[in-house]
Amino acid sequence: MRYILVEYAHAQDDDPVRVYSEVDREDLETRRVEFYDNGLWFAYGEEHGGDEALSKAPFPADVRALNVPGEVTARTIPASVFREVWDQAAERPDGFMGMFF
């Protein structure tokens, strides 16, 4: 498994500003947590469901290929960072319901 953080400098209101992804040996996304500027977040995969929202395209072997200077920054992160974000996502209401808690 690889763990990737993609950050968007100028995301639109309906686009995430940070996306944490878990990627398997075939470079396919297996879990993802998205964070938005307005405080909402969404988790996909495993117990959160929504597998259809996971990327169908494989990630590049070198995630730096996703970088666009001043716009998009992609980097590999430690598994422990992804697990911490994933575990926190499991403890909070997500998405739309998160606005009420």
Average pLDDT of span 79-100:
72
Start-to-end CA distance of the chain, whole Å, equals 33
Per residue in 22-71, pLDDT tens? Answer: 999 999 999 999 999 888 889 998 777 788 889 999 999 999 999 999 99
Average pLDDT of span 75-87:
95
Q: How far apart are CA 32 and CA 51, in angstroms?
A: 9
Give me 9's structure tokens. Answer: 């400098």
> What is the DSSP-derived secondary structure letter of residue 68?
B
Give the domain extent around 13. Answer: 2-100
Does residue 82 register a pLDDT over 90?
Answer: yes
Give me 21's structure tokens. Answer: 């992804």
Q: What is the mean pLDDT of the chain?
A: 87
How many domains is the chain built from?
1
Three-class SS state of 100: helix
Average pLDDT of span 12-25:
92
pLDDT at 97: 46
pLDDT at 99: 47
Phi then psi for residue 94, to 5 deg, are -115, 170
pTM, two decimals, is 0.86
* Band (10; pLDDT cuts 50, 70, 90): confident
